[in-house]
Amino acid sequence: MTAIKESSTRNENKEMSINACPVSYVMNKIGGHWKPIILYQLMSGPKRYNELRRAIPTITEKMLIQHLKQLQADDLVTRTAEPVVPPFVTYALSSVGESLTPVMEAIANWGFAQTGR
């Protein structure tokens, strides 16, 4: 999973920031290119893997699972796989993920206010 060189200045700074700035901490969980988009999709309800793919046409499969895994590791989304063939895997917001909803909405609303609609 794209191994991390554990002692670049870059990562040290990241660690520091996460501890020093509460906003920075949150950005590491919901920031980046794809995570907010995935979370935004899941806010409208649980979705299957391929539903997410189709909902976000420009995302690659690699990025989708990579971030879904990260979001699971951060306890923001849950994965439920029904043991059938063909596979039936559903992703949903965890309770922690749900608690993000008002925050995400606050962010989105500011965006709407800025862009006019």
Q: Residue 75 is encoded by which pair of tokens?
A: 């306890």
Q: CA-based angle 48:105:44, to the nearest 5?
A: 20
State the Cα torsion 97-103-106-107 to the nearest 10°.
-80
* Contact track, its own copies, 26-65, x by CB under 8 A: xx---xxx--xx-xx-----------------x-------
Q: Residue 74 is encoded by which pair of tokens?
A: 């951060």
Q: Does 73 bind its own copies (CB under 8 A)?
A: no
State the Cα torsion 71-76-80-85 to the nearest 10°.
-30
Q: Does 33 bind DNA (CB under 7 A)?
A: yes
Cross-strand bridge partners of residue 81: 89
Q: Does 10 bind DNA (CB under 7 A)?
A: yes
Q: Does 93 bind its own copies (CB under 8 A)?
A: no
In angstroms, give the least distance from the CB of 79 to its own copies.
20
In angstroms, give the least distance from the CB of 115 to its own copies.
7
Cβ-based neighbours of 17, under 8 Å, separated by 6 or more: 24
Per CB under 8 A, the list member of 8, 50, 69, 112 interacting with its own copies is: 112
Binding site for its own copies (CB under 8 A): 12-14, 16-17, 20-27, 31-33, 36-37, 39-40, 58, 96, 99-100, 102-104, 106-108, 110-115
